[in-house]
Amino acid sequence: MRSSSFQYSHTIYPPAPIAKFIVRGPQAEETLNGLLDSGSDATMIPLSILVQIGARFQSTDRIRTVGGGIQDVALYLVAIQIAGHNLYGIEAVATEYEDEIIIGRDVLNHLITILDGINSMTEIS
């Protein structure tokens, strides 16, 4: 079984699990670091990156925000490679926040993810 380890980010307080991954579209790919968030239904990637890789607009949807509000969002079709796993047909939510990338349950549910908070490490297989 393929396995990769990632250090927690200490630029966030408290330290948080992040992982390096590749997002692919028809025109290009980008290597990114994303926050692993099992509380997020969907993976969220800045619109500028989705446009740069040529990701195809899929549809619009409504999501419930952390504060409980409803927000209309655009979904773009991408492929994601993380810890040696290739995941196709991921509908990423386009965000306007350039510095916030979230890997949600739509991706995490395809992986075995171990969070070792004591040692500030994440293992994905």
- 3-21 pLDDT, tens digit per residue, is 999 999 999 999 999 999 9
Residue 125 is assigned to a structural domain of this protein = no
Alpha helix stretches (DSSP H) within the chain: 47-52, 105-108
Whether 96 has a pLDDT exceeding 80, the answer reads yes
Is 29 inside any structural domain?
A: yes
In a domain, 30, yes or no: yes
Query: For the segment 22-31, what is each residue's pLDDT rounded down to a tens digit?
Result: 999 999 999 9
Domain membership of residue 67 (yes or no) is: yes
User: For the residues 26-37, what does the mean pLDDT come to?
Assistant: 98
Look at the pTM and tell me if it is higher than 0.85: yes
Q: Is the peptide bond before 46 cis (omega within 30 degrees of 0)?
A: no
Beta strands across the sheet bearing 121-124: 4-7, 121-124, 113-116
Which CATH number characterizes residue 76's domain? Answer: 2.40.70.10
Is 72 among the domain residues? yes
**Domains in the chain, number:** 1
Statement: residue 1 has pLDDT above 70: no
pLDDT at position 65, please? 82
Full domain range(s) for residue 9: 4-120
